[in-house]
Amino acid sequence: MRFSVASPDTAIAPALRAKIDQKTKPLGALGALERLALQIGLVQQTLTPDLGDPTLLVFAGDHGAAKAGVSAYPQDVTWQMVENFLAGGAAINVFARHNGLCLQVVDCGVAHDFGARAGLIDAKVAPGTQNYIERPAMSAGERDAALAKGAEIAHRLADAGCKVLGFGEMGIGNTAAASLITHCLTGTPLAECIGRGTGLDDAGLLRKRELLARALARIPACAQRPADGDAARHALDVLAEFGGFEIVTMAGAMLAGAERGMLLLSDGFIVGAALLAAARIAPEVRDYAVFCHRSAEPGHLAQLHDLQGEALLDLGLRLGEGTGAALAWPLVRGAAAFLNEMASFAAAGVDEKL
């Protein structure tokens, strides 16, 4: 697929900064919220942003490498957790409900047949990826199909009036895939990209490191810095070799969401891997991304550094599901609200400093 993502026009930036600075507060007193308000105004190209109809998508997919032991949980937990999402019982359901976010689950490649269900989007490419320790996780055709399905979802939501798209995920073994993607795209040493995921003990962590090193040895070219102008092709190759269908579908939705001028709420480590790949395909996508929290997974720090992202929250979260995005949503809403509703010095009759 080809994506056409343009950076927001900065012509409106001086007016946005002036409006922020004229609010009844000392300059810069709202800290990160001021930067966020500026970003929201730039993305929407307005001095009065509207965050109506926000939607949080949880992308789910299975990984062939999970059966090799890269996770502390069996693969069946993926479909079982999707059922939990659909029943409204997971952490992300609680946080989305209490923060006014519409939640939908996307089956990108779960090894289970859910049938037609309320709140479930069928975007299945295949019932899980191949074991990337032995062979590519997916074919180029499957990768492109996942990108296209993600783009279709984002366009459909944009057509329905959605202006904010939040990202979460579910897939046993997907921290391992995200570790490989992060290493290959950022050059961060592999060991620094690998964490305990769903709670591996020391022996399990050692096994995870050994398995991922074997996967990387199968195709060492993926870890080599691409030639100038080849970053997009390199990212696409890495996604096919090591990605999950949920990661690739997210990347497609991010790229199409940015094309449509949507604000993108990025969650933690696995969502960050999708954003890394999307930013290699179209660097401008970074301008639309809000980095909602810093994950406890060590590789997320490498992602944030590479993407020059400042996280709104640092709560030690490592659950995934989009929980960090949902918890940060009130801050995003607050940034738009103060820009729209807070009085200026002139309107309030308050003297500015001498």
Domains delineated in the chain: 10-48+340-348 (1.10.1610.10), 55-331 (3.40.50.10210)
Collapsed DSSP state (helix, strand, coil) of residue 93: helix
**What pLDDT score was predicted for residue 352?**
82
**What pLDDT score was predicted for residue 123?**
98
**What pLDDT score was predicted for residue 158?**
97
**What pLDDT score was predicted for residue 15?**
98
- Among the listed residues 34, 284, 321, 341, the single catalytic one is 321
Q: Within the chain, how many helices (H) and strands (E) appear?
A: 14, 6
169 an active-site residue? no
C-alpha 127/C-alpha 112 separation (Å) is 7
**What pLDDT score was predicted for residue 239?**
98
Residue with tokens 């900064």: 17
Q: Which amino acid is at 296?
A: A
What per-residue string of b and e applies to 296-324 under the rule 16 or more CB within 10 Å gives b?
bbbbbbbbbebbebebbeeeebbbbbbbb
Residue with tokens 């992308």: 59
pTM: 0.95
Return the bridge partners of 56, or none: 103, 166
**What pLDDT score was predicted for residue 71?**
85
**What pLDDT score was predicted for residue 70?**
85
Alpha helices in 26-139 (DSSP H): 32-44, 77-87, 91-98
One digit per residue, pLDDT tens: the chain, 354 residues? 789 999 999 999 999 999 999 999 999 999 999 999 999 999 999 999 999 899 999 999 999 999 888 888 899 999 999 999 999 999 999 999 999 999 999 999 999 999 999 999 999 999 999 999 999 999 999 999 999 999 999 999 999 999 999 999 999 999 999 999 999 999 999 999 999 887 888 998 899 999 999 999 999 989 888 887 899 999 999 999 999 999 999 999 999 999 999 999 999 999 999 999 999 999 999 999 999 999 999 999 999 999 999 999 999 999 999 999 999 999 999 999 999 999 999 998 888 875
**What pLDDT score was predicted for residue 200?**
85
Tokens (6 digits) for 247: 């990661």
C-alpha 342/C-alpha 332 separation (Å) is 15
Angle at 154 between CA 149 and CA 157, to 5 degrees: 125
**What pLDDT score was predicted for residue 311?**
97
